[in-house]
Amino acid sequence: MSLTDDKRKRKGPATSAVTEAERIVSEQVPQDRRQEMLGYLKMFGYKPDRTIIQVHIAGFFNKKRTATGRESEKRQATARRYGGTTFVIVGRTHDPAIMDLVTKPKKKPEQTSPGYIGYLWKNKDLQNRAPHEIIPLDFTPTHIPYPEDWKRMFATKGFMLAMHVPASFAKHKNRLTRALYRAGKTADVKQPWSFMDEVRSSGYDQIQQTEDPLNILKIRLAKGEISKEEYEKLHQTLAA
């Protein structure tokens, strides 16, 4: 379904054009597009109930003020600890309606990127929806070209969507990105996202399963390294 289902009141020719563009996009993508979006985001460790997705105006992503010595050291320490940065751009949209859906950042403008407009998070959504349930349907993974006809319809600079990958996946992020770019060379965002099958067959899912803390916990239980009681206690802690 398109964002018109939010039943927001729109007025004027500009908003009418956006509504029409959303209708056209919804007719050009598969009916299960939201499930495809969910599957794609899960490759990066996305969790519908907990993950926060940031939204930035294209061209301004990560253009922050000069970091202080303490902030710079903290970022470098994080990268060393996890074997890579935990922040990644997952896709983009040109639908301006996303500006009405984000939660505005609490930090002062001078403390954030000038293009950072807000974030999507289930806990902050008035209807308790996960990010993938409200991201505009023109959402296009970073490795797939955004359709020119959609770009003309929305007539905006565009918005980048980014999220933190789980720490255990950080060092594998580049491998996933390369696999996605290879698989996406011939992909059409309007068609079913079969590129995900190619990425999964490349073995990336096996890396996730191996590195996932919950999976490691199951392996330790199977090996007899921890008791059933310890497993259940640790499982509750990790899943919280």
Helix residue ranges per DSSP H, the chain: 12-28, 33-42, 69-82, 148-154, 173-183, 195-201, 204-211, 213-222, 228-239
Q: How far apart are CA 86 and CA 180, in angstroms?
A: 17
Q: How far apart are CA 50 and CA 121, in angstroms?
A: 7
Q: pLDDT tens per residue, the chain (240 residues)?
A: 333 344 344 455 568 999 999 999 999 999 999 999 999 999 888 999 999 999 999 987 554 544 455 655 655 554 454 444 578 899 999 999 999 999 998 866 545 677 899 999 999 999 999 999 999 999 999 999 999 999 999 999 999 999 988 776 777 778 888 889 988 888 999 999 999 988 887 666 545 555 556 556 666 677 677 788 877 777 676 555
| pTM > 0.75: yes or no | no
Cα–Cα nearest to 29, from 136, 162, 167, 182: 136
Sign of the Cα torsion 199, 204, 208, 210 reads positive
